[in-house]
């Protein structure tokens, strides 16, 4: 066995252009900033993690720049010189010097996991309980788009990848106009497609009570985080009243949050982003709490690049509680990827990359090209 001492941690910010602008509730991204973290073990093995938020700081307060400061500073100090097999203890120690900052912790934790798995020459899923599936259902998110462009994109994705489930972003425009646009999209595309909306916590209670029933009647099958993250009581009320499953995303950024949602029965599904939760260990705990409380888990995304997406796939492939599929399509939204392999998408599913660690090898020419100067 090679030396597993954590010898060096390197970070760089990549700016990777998107195939089209991606409109969120309060922000439109044309490129995805990604903090690429490389962990070098003394024996020569290198692991990779990505610090990613959906576009910018609007989602959870962190961005690529803040993540770089945290990983380069306190988080590295608490990690260097230790043995990677101590990972759970290292991750716990981070909380002594750095409160919150879960996206930054996830980037480093995943790079450590990847290095450890590569040193053992096993897939990452083997360190997470074992891989029991090779593929998962995968939703495509449209962002906020005009109706004609949305119809074209649905048809194109269906043709190219067999996608049948689509997520529509709301919360940016007038809810009355937006609801009509979504009803028209559903009416003007094939009946066997499935639609969900994500409001990114932007509506108040009365807006949600007014428009969610209209969207339900139009055929929307899942409501993701319609109302503010901290207002678990309103989420509970909507879950009980609107007759369509509700998914908690912003409301669950820790295992303790998951327990709160489970206790209140405030949602039917919990969105597990390995990024917002602070990594794979915290994602496992969150999934266990959801499972014990009878809630489904969804393999959600912050629009990670290939390494982050593959890590989330290994998490989902080793976690039976993820019963509600995934939206791990991030690499497809990037104009170009920076690994030598491609994550494969077919028949509405995404395949878990195979090989040691995440199963992906960096393409350093492309990484250098996208690195912020
Ligand atoms: C979110 O809030 O779910 C994931 C896909 C997408 O379009 O937005 C993200 C973030
Ligand atoms: Mg969401």
If you write DSSP's letter for every residue of 178-192 in order, what string do you get?
Answer: HHHHHHHHHHTS-TT
Fold of 127-351: TIM Barrel (3.20.20)
| pLDDT tens, position by position, 7-36 | 999 999 999 999 999 999 899 999 999 999
Rounded to whole angstroms, the Cα distance separating 238 from 254 reads 22
- Active-site residue, selected from the candidate residues 50, 224, 250, 327: 327
Locus of tokens 């878990």? 352
* Nearest CA among 72, 75, 79 for reference residue 105: 75
Do 6-121 and 127-351 fold alike per CATH? no
Q: Which of 169, 273, 276, 284 is catalytic?
A: 169
Atom of ligand 1 nearest to the CA of 167: 7
Helix (H) or strand (E) holding 8, with range, is strand 6-23
pLDDT tens column, 162-187: 999 999 999 999 999 999 999 999 99
Best residue for ligand 1 mutational test, from 195, 248, 252, 303 (most atoms within 8 Å of Cβ) = 303
- Helix (H) / strand (E) containing 316: helix 306-317
Q: How far apart are CA 225 and CA 270, in angstroms?
A: 10
Dist. CA 253–CA 328, nearest whole Å: 18
Fold of 6-121: Enolase-like; domain 1 (3.30.390)
Q: Assign 3-state DSSP to the chain and report helix, strand, coil percentages, each to 5.
A: 40, 20, 40
57 is written with which tokens? 């700081």
Q: Which helix (H) or strand (E) holds 109?
A: helix 102-120
Buried b vs exposed e over 330-355: b needs ≥16 C-beta within 10 Å?
A: bbbbbeebbbebebebeebbbbbbeb
pLDDT on residue 150: 95
Query: Which DSSP string corresponds to 202-259?
Result: ---HHHHHHHHHHHHHHT--EEE--S-TT-HHHHHHHHHHSSS-EEESTT-SSHHHHH
Percent of the chain with pLDDT over 70: 100
pLDDT of residue 111: 99
For the question of residue 68 being annotated catalytic, the response is no
For residue 24, the CA-to-ligand 1 centroid distance in Å is: 8
Distance from the alpha carbon of residue 306 to the mean position of ligand 1, in angstroms: 16
Cα–Cα distance between 184 and 245 in angstroms, integer? 21
Tens digit of pLDDT for each residue in 185-227?
Answer: 999 999 999 999 999 999 999 999 999 999 999 999 999 999 9
Confidence of residue 297 (pLDDT cuts 50, 70, 90): very high
Element containing residue 155 per DSSP (H, E)? helix 147-161
- The answer to whether residue 327 is catalytic is yes
| Ligand 1 first shell, C-beta below 6 A | 54, 141, 143, 169, 198, 200, 249, 300-301, 303, 327
Q: Is residue 143's pLDDT more than 90?
A: no
The residue-averaged pLDDT of 225-240 equals 98
Q: Is the dihedral of CA 287, 312, 29, 183 positive or negative?
A: negative
What does the mean pLDDT of the chain come to? 97
119 backbone dihedrals φ, ψ, rounded to 5°: -65, -35
Helix (H) or strand (E) holding 113: helix 102-120
**Atom in ligand 1 nearest the alpha carbon of residue 271:** 3
> Tens of pLDDT along 44-67?
999 999 999 999 999 999 999 999
- Residue 2: per-residue pLDDT: 94
Rounded CA gap, 65 and 1, in Å? 36
Distance 172 CA to ligand 2 centre (A): 13
Is the model's pLDDT at 1 over the cut of 90?
no
Rounded mean pLDDT, 70-75 = 98
Question: Could you tell me the residue ranges of all domains in the chain?
Answer: 6-121, 127-351
Q: What is the pLDDT of residues 314-368, one digit of tens each?
A: 999 999 999 999 999 999 999 999 999 999 999 999 999 999 999 999 999 999 9
In the predicted model, what is the mean pLDDT of residues 139-147?
92
């Amino acid at each position: 066995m090679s030396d597993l001492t954590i010898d060096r941690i390197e970070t760089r910010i990549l700016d990777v252009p998107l195939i089209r602008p991606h409109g969120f509730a309060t922000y439109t991204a044309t490129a995805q900033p990604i903090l690429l973290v490389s962990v070098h073990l003394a024996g020569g093995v290198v692991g990779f993690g990505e610090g990613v938020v959906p576009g910018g700081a609007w989602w959870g307060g962190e961005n690529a720049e803040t993540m770089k400061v945290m990983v380069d500073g306190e988080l590295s100090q608490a990690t260097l010189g230790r043995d990677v097999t101590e990972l759970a203890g290292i991750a716990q120690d981070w909380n002594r010097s750095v409160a919150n900052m879960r996206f930054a912790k996830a980037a480093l934790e995943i790079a450590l996991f990847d290095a450890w798995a590569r040193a053992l020459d096993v897939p990452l899923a083997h360190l997470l309980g074992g891989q029991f599936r090779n593929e998962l259902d995968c939703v495509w998110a449209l962002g906020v788009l005009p109706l004609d462009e949305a119809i074209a994109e649905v048809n194109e994705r269906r043709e190219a990848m067999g996608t049948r489930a689509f997520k529509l972003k709301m919360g940016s425009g007038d809810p009355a106009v937006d609801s009509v646009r979504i009803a028209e999209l559903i009416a003007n595309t094939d009946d066997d497609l499935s639609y969900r909306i994500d409001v990114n916590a932007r509506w108040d209670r009365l807006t949600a009570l007014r428009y969610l029933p209209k969207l339900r009647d139009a055929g929307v099958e899942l409501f993701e985080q319609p109302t503010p993250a901290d207002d678990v009581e309103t989420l509970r009320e909507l879950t009980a009243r609107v007759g369509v499953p509700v998914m908690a995303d912003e409301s669950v950024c820790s295992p303790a949050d998951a327990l709160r949602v489970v206790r209140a029965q405030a949602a039917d599904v919990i969105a597990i982003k390995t990024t917002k939760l602070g990594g794979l260990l915290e994602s496992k705990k969150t999934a266990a709490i959801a499972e014990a409380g009878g809630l489904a888990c969804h393999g959600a995304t912050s629009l990670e690049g290939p390494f982050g997406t593959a890590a989330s796939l290994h998490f989902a492939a080793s976690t039976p509680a993820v019963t509600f599929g995934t939206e791990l399509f991030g690499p497809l939204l990037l104009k170009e990827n920076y690994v030598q392999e491609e994550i494969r998408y077919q028949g509405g599913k995404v395949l878990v990359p195979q090989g040691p660690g995440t199963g992906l090898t960096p393409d350093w020419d492309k990484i250098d090209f996208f690195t912020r100067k």
